[in-house]
Structure 1
């Protein structure tokens, strides 16, 4: 159930004020969604699984670049996921020096279960909103997606 909270004291009519309000709101929502996660994976591990389900198999270097982490950090993330049986590494067909990382069926199932739980929680929260607020969120979601890609 959504609770009505007074607007933050920030001035939202300036870009800086809007940025502050968005940062706090998006951060809080992200924490609430993370709390719905069914696994004990780290955020980095979850991010890699989600990237692989969206992008398909990638090299460790491409994963590191996509997730904005250093290659040694990605190596540790990949090792942990492989140890849990959630990903597998195979040789790159064109470059034998490279490896490709892909999800196992167990990894795919885990991501789908995670998506279902978090989307069900968010769906329950959205049910109490009036139609015009839902439409505002639809538009905001498109804008937030563009911002996240910049």
Structure 2
């Protein structure tokens, strides 16, 4: 595998992801929350409950900075924090019912946007992209499991 192609893919994917996020951050419902808060909701929706440290690392934020993000989301009733039953030194964060409803509403809009973008591709191109995405999900899950054993 050509490492240069991997980096090019990651850069292109980052730009696409950024465009998608920016489009949705202009939604009137989402203008009341910041980009890090929106990303936190999406992470918790797709990956479930996790430690504050793991979510802050995923976002690329210092733990103290993420605490501010989490506190704001808790205050809005979008996430909840509880003590980790396996390690009392850690806090777990998860979506509240209100946070889940907000993400699911926007997920429908995101799905429509992606369908529109992918509709410009041929069926063969769509199928190839689907296979690559499935492989990336598998790889990401293996990495996630490996990293979660470290904590």
**Is the pair's TM-score, using the shorter chain for normalization, greater than 0.5?**
yes
In the alignment, is residue 108 of structure 1 matched against residue 96 of structure 2? no
Q: 2:64 aligns with which of 60, 72, 88?
A: 72
Tell me the secondary structure at the aligned position of residue 129 of structure 1: coil
Higher RCO, 1 or 2 (CA under 8 Å, sep at least 6)?
1
TM-score, normalised to structure 2, is 0.71
Which stretches in structure 2 are left out of the alignment for 5+ residues?
144-151
Q: Which deviates more, 114-123 or 86-95?
A: 86-95
Give deviations 1:80-124, integer Å, cap 9, x for gaps: 111222112334456666543222221001111221111110101
Instruction: Please state which structure has a larger fraction of its residues in strand.
Output: 2
Structure showing greater radius of gyration is: 1
- State how far apart, in whole Å, the 2-side matches of 1:113 and 1:99 are: 27
Q: 1:119 aligns with which of 111, 125, 129?
A: 111
Number of equivalenced pairs: 137
Which stretches in structure 1 are left out of the alignment for 5+ residues?
1-12
Instruction: Please state which structure has a larger fraction of its residues in helix.
Output: 2
| Mapping 1:42-57, distance limit 5 Å | 42-57=34-49
